[in-house]
Chain A
Amino acid sequence: MTSVVVEGPRVAAPRASHRRGWWRRNWVSLAFLAPGVIWLLAIVVYPTIATIRFSLYDETATKFVGLHNYASVFSTDAILTAFKNNIIWVLVFPFFVTFIGLMVAVLTERIRWATAFKAVIVMPIVFSTTASALVWRTIFDLDPHIGVVNAIEQTVSDWFSTPGAYPLNSAIGQTAASLASFNATGGPGGTLLSKSAVHPGGTVMMGLTRVSAVTLQTLGAQTPLAPQKMAGGIAGLVWNDFSPLQTSNTTTIVSDEHGLPNLRLSLVSSTGSSVASTVTNSSGDFSFSHIAPGSYHVEILGSNFQNAFVGTFWLGAQSITPTSGLNQTAQSLLSVPLIDLAMIISYIWIWAGFAMVLIGAGLAALNREVLEAAEIDGATEWQTLRRVTIPMLAPVLTVVFVTMVINVLKVFDIILNMAPGSSQGPATTLALSIYNDGFTGGIHSGVASTIAVILFILVIPAMLWNLKKIKGGNS
C-alpha cells in the first residue's frame, strides 16, 4: 500500500492507485468535514424529509392519507386563527421595527452618548424571549397595582373623573336611584335627593341599600348615629338601611346597620341652588351649620357613585376590529385580538436593537460626500433622510425587513409566555400550533408536520432572497 508512488506522473498511474492517492491526500480534510456533514444529515436533512412524509400520513404515521391533512389545516378554525395571527405579525412588526431601527440609528449619529444609548437598545436581544415576555406581561397587567400601563391609564383617567367612594358599574345597569331605600329619590345627573324638605333646626335621615360589605369595611363604616337637632343648622344621617337581622325594617336604624362615611353632600335651597356642602363622618352623620331660614333638600352628589376605573385588558383576546355577527370561521380570520398589539410592542422592544445595529452599520458605510452635498445644496434634514439616506440604505433596510419577516413567521416563545391561558388560543401562531398539535398529549405527527411544511414553504422565499442579498454583499 505504501509503495504507491503518489508523486508519480498521473497519466501513467494505474486507476486504482490514482484513487487511492486522492484519498490519501484528502482524507484528513474530509475527516475534518465529516462530523458537521453527518450531524446535518442526521438531524436536519433526514428529519426534514421525514416531516414532509409525515404530513401525508395520519396522526400516528401509519396510514397514507394524501393531502387530507392539508385540507383539514385550511378548514380548522384554530389553525386559521394561527394563520391570521401570523399575517398580523408579518404586516405590522417588520415595518415598525425597521422604521424604529432606522430612526434611532440616524438620530444616534448626532449624540455624544451614542455608545451608552446603543447598549441600552441592544440589551434586550440577549435576554431570553421568555424573560422578556414575563416582564411585559406584568407591564400590561390589568391590575393598576402591577401593570404600569394601566397605572398610567388610571392616573390619567383620575384627572378627568375621580372615582367615588361608592363606585357603581353603569356597564351592568347600576344607577344611584337603585340604591335609594328610605327618604331618598334619584335626582338629575346620578344624584340622590332627600324626599322630605328640611328646615334649619330640623334633622334629616336618608337610607340607602345595596352597599357592599367590602366597601363598608374599606371605608371603616361605624354604627349609625341618630342625628341630634341643632339650632340654626341641619343635622342628618345617611346610612346603609339594611340589616341582616331585620330585613323588613326599612324605616329606622337597627344596631347592626352601618352609617355611610365619606359621602359628599350638598344642601339645596328651594330655588335649586346649592348653599352648603359637607362630607359624612364614619358613622354616616353630618351637619350643616349657620343655615338661613328656608326649606331645603339634602343632595348626595353624583360624584360619590362615579364609576370605578376599569383598566384595559391588554392581554385579553377582545378584538380591535368589530366581529359581532360573524360566524366562527370569519371571526378566526378577521378578529385582531388586543394582545397581539401588546405582544408586538414587546417584540419591538426586543428586536429594535438588532435593526439599529444593522442599519447603523449600513449608515457608517454610506458615502459621506453625498450626504454633505445634499446638506450644502440646502436640503433639510428630513429631505436628506427621505431622498438620499433611505434610498442609499435600501439594501440594508430590506435585509432587516426580510429577516424580521422570517423571525415572526416563527414567532413562538412570546405567545407561550405572555398570553394568559384565556388568550393562548386566540393569539396562537403557526409555530405554537405545531407545538400544541404535535407535542401535547403524546406525539401527533400528521397535522403538526403539515403546519411545519407550510411554515417551511413560507420561510423559503424570504430566506433565499436574504441569502442572495448577503452573499452579494460579501463578494
Chain B
Amino acid sequence: MTIAAPVKERRVVGLAKRLRLSKAVVNVILALVAIFWLVPTISLLVISLRPESLFGVSGWWTVFTTPSQLTFGNYATIFSQGFATGGVLDSLLTSLEITIPATLLVTLISSLAAYSLVFGSWRGRDMIFLGIVGLMVVPLQVALIPVVQLYREMGDLFGLNPYGTIPGVIIFHVAFGLPFGIFLMRNFLTGIPKDLLEAGRIEGAGEWKIFYRIVLPLALPAIASLAIFQFIWVWNDLLVALVFLGGNVHSPLTIFLYDQTRSLAANYWIVSTGAVVSIFVPLIVFFSFQRYFVRGVLAGAVK
C-alpha cells in the first residue's frame, strides 16, 4: 500500500501533464486545419481583388508581400455593366427569381401537406406520408428527360411550354424539394399538442385560420430550417438549370460561372468575381440563420 500510493499519484500527475500538452497540440492541429479550410475561400477573394493582368503572371499569394495589387476594379466593372443581359448582376437577379419562388412554394406546400397529414382525421394518412418519404429515394436525374417532354406536351396542349423558362426550373425544384419538406414539417408538427387546435375550433376558426394563426407561428423554427435548406439547395443547383433553362439568355449564377469556365484562362477575373458574388448570398443566409441551417442539415441528412 505504502509503495503503491505514490506510484498512483505520479500516474495521475503524468496524465494531467499529458492532457495539458495535448491541449496545446490539439489547438495547433485545429489551427492548421482551419487555415487549410480557409485557403480556397481566401484565394478566391484575393483573385477577385487583383487585376486581371496579374492572373497567371504571379500567384495570388504574392498579395501578402505586395498588398498594393489589391483593387476593386473587377467589381467596379461588373457593377458598371449593370443588369445587362449576360452579365453577373443579370445572373444574380435570375438566381433570385428562381430561388425565392421555389423556396416559398416548397415551404408553403410542405406546411399545408404536413398539417393535413398530422391534424387530418381521415384514415390512410400514414400510408401517404410513407409514400411521400419514399420519394426521397428518387434521384432527380431519373425524372429529367420525361419532365422535359411533359413540358413540351403542356406546350402542345395549352400553349404554355415551361421548358426554357424560369417557371420550368421552379416547378422541377419544388417537386424535388417537397418530399424532404413534408418529412421535416410533419415531424415537427407532430410535436404540437392537438388541444391548441381544438381551442381554435371551439372559437369557430376555420382550418385555414387555424393553420396560419396557430400552427404556422409555432412551426417557425422548422419553417426556417426548411426554407434555408431549400434556398441554398436551389441557389447552388447547376444541373436542373442546365437542363430546363436550355438556351435562355438569362442564366443563374451557376450557369454563368459554368459558361465562363469553358474559357477559363481568358476571363478568370469575371469567374472569380462572379463566384464571390454567388457565394455572398448563401453566406449571408448562413451566418444570419446558422442555428436553423445546422438543424436543417441534421434533419436533412437523407437528401
Kindly list chain A residues whose C-beta atoms are within 8 Å of the C-beta of B142. 47-48, 51, 452-453, 455-456
B224 within 8 A of A: no
Q: Is the interface of A mostly helix, strand, loop or mixed?
A: helix
B68 within 8 A of A: no
Q: Is the CB of B283 within 8 A of A145?
A: no
The distance from the CB of B211 to the nearest CB of chain A, in whole angstroms, is 7
B220 within 8 A of A: no
Q: Is the CB of A28 within 8 A of B137?
A: no
B157 within 8 A of A: no
Kindly list chain B residues whose C-beta atoms are within 8 Å of the C-beta of A171. none
Most chain B CB atoms below 10 A, which of A22, A134, A143, A443? A134
A309-B185 Cα distance, complex, nearest whole Å:
57
B192 within 8 A of A: no
Stretch from A188-196, A226-234, A296-304, A457-465 contacting the other chain: A457-465
Using known A-B contacts A130-B254, A130-B258, A449-B145, determine if residue A39 contacts B271 with beta carbons closer than 8 Å.
no
Q: Is the CB of B211 within 8 A of A44?
A: no
The distance from the CB of A275 to the nearest CB of chain B, in whole angstroms, is 40
A357 within 8 A of B: yes
Q: Is the CB of B137 within 8 A of A145?
A: no
Kindly list chain B residues whose C-beta atoms are within 8 Å of the C-beta of A445. 145
B253 within 8 A of A: yes
Q: Is the CB of A466 within 8 A of B34?
A: no
A37-B290 Cα distance, complex, nearest whole Å:
31
Using known A-B contacts A28-B206, A129-B236, determine if residue A452 contacts B39 with beta carbons closer than 8 Å.
no
Q: Is the CB of B146 within 8 A of A151?
A: no
- Identify which of residues 372-425 in chain A touch chain B, using a CB-to-CB cut-off of 8 Å: 378, 381, 399-400, 403, 409-410, 412-413, 416-417, 420-421
Kindly list chain B residues whose C-beta atoms are within 8 Å of the C-beta of A417. 238, 257-258, 261
Q: Is the CB of A378 within 8 A of B110?
A: no
B155 within 8 A of A: no
B122 within 8 A of A: yes
Residue of A nearest to B175 (CB): A43
A241-B275 Cα distance, complex, nearest whole Å:
51
Kindly list chain B residues whose C-beta atoms are within 8 Å of the C-beta of A134. 44, 257, 261, 271-272, 275
Using known A-B contacts A130-B257, A144-B59, A435-B239, determine if residue A43 contacts B143 with beta carbons closer than 8 Å.
yes
Q: Is the CB of A33 within 8 A of B171?
A: no
Kindly list chain A residues whose C-beta atoms are within 8 Å of the C-beta of B93. none
B75 within 8 A of A: no
Q: Is the CB of B207 within 8 A of A32?
A: yes
Kindly list chain B residues whose C-beta atoms are within 8 Å of the C-beta of A26. 120-122
A111-B258 Cα distance, complex, nearest whole Å:
39
A107-B22 Cα distance, complex, nearest whole Å:
10
Q: Is the CB of A51 within 8 A of B253?
A: no
A417-B239 Cα distance, complex, nearest whole Å:
11
Stretch from A115-123, A160-168, A243-251, A323-331 contacting the other chain: A115-123
A434-B41 Cα distance, complex, nearest whole Å:
31
B139 within 8 A of A: yes
A50-B11 Cα distance, complex, nearest whole Å:
69
Q: Is the CB of A32 within 8 A of B43?
A: no
Kindly list chain B residues whose C-beta atoms are within 8 Å of the C-beta of A358. 297-298, 301
- Identify which of residues 1-34 in chain B touch chain A, using a CB-to-CB cut-off of 8 Å: 11, 15, 22-23, 26-27, 29-30, 33-34
A143-B265 Cα distance, complex, nearest whole Å:
11
A437-B253 Cα distance, complex, nearest whole Å:
24
A294 within 8 A of B: no
Residue of A nearest to B27 (CB): A111
Using known A-B contacts A47-B146, A124-B37, A128-B253, determine if residue A36 contacts B302 with beta carbons closer than 8 Å.
no
Kindly list chain B residues whose C-beta atoms are within 8 Å of the C-beta of A276. none
Bits for B23-59, please: 1 = Cβ < 8 Å to A, else 0.
1001101100110011111011001000000011111
One of A25, A51, A439, A452 near B243 (C-beta < 8 A): A439
Using known A-B contacts A44-B135, A128-B238, A412-B239, determine if residue A403 contacts B26 with beta carbons closer than 8 Å.
no
A148-B175 Cα distance, complex, nearest whole Å:
41
The distance from the CB of A86 to the nearest CB of chain B, in whole angstroms, is 12
A124-B55 Cα distance, complex, nearest whole Å:
24
Q: Is the CB of A51 within 8 A of B143?
A: yes
A131 within 8 A of B: yes
Using known A-B contacts A117-B30, A463-B136, determine if residue A30 contacts B143 with beta carbons closer than 8 Å.
no
Kindly list chain A residues whose C-beta atoms are within 8 Å of the C-beta of B113. 32-33, 35-37
Q: Is the CB of B145 within 8 A of A54?
A: yes
Kindly list chain B residues whose C-beta atoms are within 8 Å of the C-beta of A33. 112-113, 116-117, 120, 128
One of B116, B128, B275, B302 near A466 (C-beta < 8 A): B302
B269 within 8 A of A: no
A139 within 8 A of B: yes
Q: Is the CB of B40 within 8 A of A30?
A: no
A117-B136 Cα distance, complex, nearest whole Å:
32
B278 within 8 A of A: yes
Q: Is the CB of B278 within 8 A of A128?
A: yes
Kindly list chain B residues whose C-beta atoms are within 8 Å of the C-beta of A42. 150, 175
A336 within 8 A of B: no
A132 within 8 A of B: yes
B96 within 8 A of A: no
Using known A-B contacts A44-B143, A416-B238, determine if residue A135 contacts B40 with beta carbons closer than 8 Å.
yes
The distance from the CB of B189 to the nearest CB of chain A, in whole angstroms, is 12
Residue of B nearest to A474 (CB): B187
Q: Would you mind naming 28 contact pairs between A and B with Cβ atoms under 8 Å apart?
A: A26-B121, A33-B116, A39-B109, A40-B178, A44-B175, A44-B176, A47-B146, A48-B142, A51-B143, A54-B146, A104-B33, A117-B34, A119-B290, A121-B33, A121-B34, A122-B294, A128-B237, A130-B278, A134-B44, A135-B43, A137-B261, A146-B55, A146-B59, A358-B297, A361-B298, A416-B258, A439-B242, A456-B138
What residues of chain B have their CB less than 8 Å away from a CB belonging to chain A? 11, 15, 22-23, 26-27, 29-30, 33-34, 37-41, 43-44, 47, 55-61, 109-110, 112-113, 115-117, 119-122, 128, 132-139, 141-150, 171-172, 174-176, 178-179, 182, 187, 206-208, 211, 232, 235-239, 242-243, 253-254, 257-258, 261-262, 264, 268, 271-272, 275, 278-279, 282-283, 285-287, 290, 293-294, 297-298, 301-302
Q: Which 5 pairs across A and B sit closest by C-beta, in order of nearness? A: A43-B175, A128-B236, A47-B146, A50-B146, A36-B113
